[in-house]
Amino acid sequence: MTENKKSATLNVHGETYELPIFSPTAGPDVIDIRKLYSNAGVFTYDPGFTSTASCDSTITYIDGDKGELLHRGYPIDQLASKSHFLEVCYLMLYGELPNASDLEEFETTITRHTMLHEQMQYFYRGFRRDAHPMAIMVGVVGAMSAFYHDSTDIHDPRQREIASHRLIAKMPTIAAWAYKYHTGQPFVYPRNDLDYASNFLRMCFSVPAEEYEVNPILSRAMDRIFTLHADHEQNASTSTVRLASSSGANPFACIAAGIACLWGPAHGGANQACLEMLEEIGSVDRIPEYIARAKDKDDPFRLMGFGHRVYKNFDPRATVMKQSADEVLDLLGIENNPKLQVAKELEREALEDPYFAEKKLFPNVDFYSGIILEAMGFPTSMFTPIFALSRTVGWVSQWKEMIADPQNKIGRPRQLYLGETERDYVDIEKR
Ligand code: CMC
């Protein structure tokens, strides 16, 4: 962050204030308003943070107009085609691509942390069988704070590192067990000879009664889904993790907060909502009705899997995800799936509609990820847990970055108060 010679001039109530301007390595300049309140006695107002940089970071960069997503400078399409998820995890956590021995050591570390404390099974058993797997994940990840006391001291860098490894390693087991619990099948333990994605598929789909062969194309597609969701700058769930951890809360509690935020349909819940929408539409002849509803200001309905706060031309993750969807559907010989037909036609009709073009609404990553996950055999309720699993490395990297930052202080937004001013309490018999 370099301070420009230029500054912004703000006139408030007749007084002029000079505000420093900082230049990032990429992206728009930022105006430093940290001293604004103490100097001028006013707040800024930005609900939804549409114009506010909440932190500085070196992890992920997005250019929404260009449709660019970089992790530590590397474009997402290169990472998705040339790298693999655990290498991307290393890159996120440590800032550089690993050499062969660093990667091997990192993969071994993650592999050796995949089992859950056996007692944690009882947490699952306390849930109803029809509990949403995200509800289970919020609970179980939060409960990790009660099991891994030796990695909750946020002031110890070594403990922070162990917590990061544990979260990345155990999340596939936690998500797979949420699924197994839901289906009533026995929990499947992780296996150290499998790669990260294959291990997850096996923990979800194998049963003790017969061996499960992981299809390498499906495992590659799964790994790519993890990579494409690994991090996305200061989105709602990442900002939640940062805000939760700014109070000094332990990492497991903070990541549980991130999972809770991700659950919502405007964020990670969109992939489930998208598939449910495709199911509700049902057939291609009903698409115009739904497009009309999405355009109707008096109807709250939105096309799920369309639009993005930052991307205003295309979502680069969606481009890769679409290719992956084609590969998986081809492998599985799925062509006549009604939801897929609705998805393809909906995409075509929406992209040709001036409403979506004018508002710069394009299919986002969630439009295609749900189609692949369904083809792989996952129920829609597992889509968001898989997003949470993938995003854990992003949350953890941003959390580590924040805790190590000497400027870190508790997040405490202010407000534009529009309520009553002071008034006297009225006794109940007089109201
Ligand atoms: N269908 C119909 N209209 C839409 C849609 C949509 N999916 N998305 C935005 N619009 C309209 C919206 O009504 C508004 O119109 P107007 O200016 O006339 O009031 C305009 O486009 C701008 O919308 P906004 O809500 O102000 O934009 P935002 O940046 O706050 O919202 C969004 C971004 C992703 C929440 C929104 O596009 C949306 O709700 N999309 C559907 C949910 C979805 O797919 N979410 C996944 C996002 S990608 C994965 C992730 O990051 O978690």
The per-residue DSSP string of 64-91 comes to: TTTTEEEETTEEHHHHHHHS-HHHHHHH
Please identify which of the residues 308, 315, 326, 427 carries the catalytic annotation. 308
Alpha-helix runs per DSSP H in 305-353? 316-331, 338-352
Output the CA 360–ligand 1 centroid distance in Å.
10
**335 pLDDT above the threshold of 80:** no
Q: How far apart are the first and last CA of the chain?
A: 57
Return the CA Rg of the chain: 23
Contact assessment for residue 197 and residue 219, using Cβ atoms and an 8 Å cutoff:
yes
d(CA 64, CA 124): 40
List, in order, residues 6 or more apart from 218 with CB less than 8 Å away. Answer: 201, 328, 331, 376
More confident residue, 313 or 202: 202
> Can 155 be counted among the known catalytic residues?
no
- Grouping H, G, I as helix, E, B as strand and the rest as coil, residue 20 is strand
Which atom from ligand 1 is nearest to the alpha carbon of 367?
44
Exposure b/e, 144-155, CB count within 10 A at least 16 = b: bbebbeebbebe
Question: What's the pLDDT tens digit per position in 61-111?
Answer: 999 989 999 999 999 999 999 999 999 999 999 999 999 999 999 999 999
Find the residues whose C-beta lies inside 6 A of ligand 1. 232, 235, 266-268, 270, 294, 302-309, 359, 361, 364-366
Sheet holding 30-31, edge to edge: 2-12, 15-23, 30-31
**53 pLDDT above the threshold of 90:** yes
Contact assessment for residue 28 and residue 37, using Cβ atoms and an 8 Å cutoff:
no
Percentage above 90 pLDDT, the chain: 82
d(CA 192, CA 388): 22
Question: What's the pLDDT tens digit per position in 31-48?
Answer: 999 999 999 999 999 999
CA distances from 126 to 5, 114, 414 (A): 60, 22, 39
Short-list 398, 165, 374, CA closest to 279: 374
Question: What's the pLDDT tens digit per position in 236-272?
Answer: 999 999 999 999 999 999 999 999 999 998 888 888 8
Average pLDDT (355-378) is 90
Choice from 295, 309, 315, 317 to test ligand 1 binding pocket (greatest atom count within 8 A of CB): 309
Task: Return the DSSP state at 215.
Answer: P
**322 pLDDT above the threshold of 90:** no
Question: What does pLDDT average to over the chain?
Answer: 94
Output the CA 366–ligand 1 centroid distance in Å.
13
Question: What's the pLDDT tens digit per position in 383-429?
Answer: 999 999 999 999 999 999 999 998 889 999 999 999 999 999 999 99
Which atom from ligand 1 is nearest to the alpha carbon of 232?
51
The residue nearest atom 26 of ligand 1, judged by CA position, is 309
Exposure b/e, 360-377, CB count within 10 A at least 16 = b: ebbbbbbbbbbbbbbbbe
Choice from 359, 390, 395 to test ligand 1 binding pocket (greatest atom count within 8 A of CB): 359
> Can 32 be counted among the known catalytic residues?
no
With bands split at pLDDT 50, 70 and 90, how would you rate the model's confidence at 172?
Answer: very high
Short-list 182, 219, 234, CA closest to 52: 234
List, in order, residues 6 or more apart from 109 with CB less than 8 Å away. Answer: 165, 169
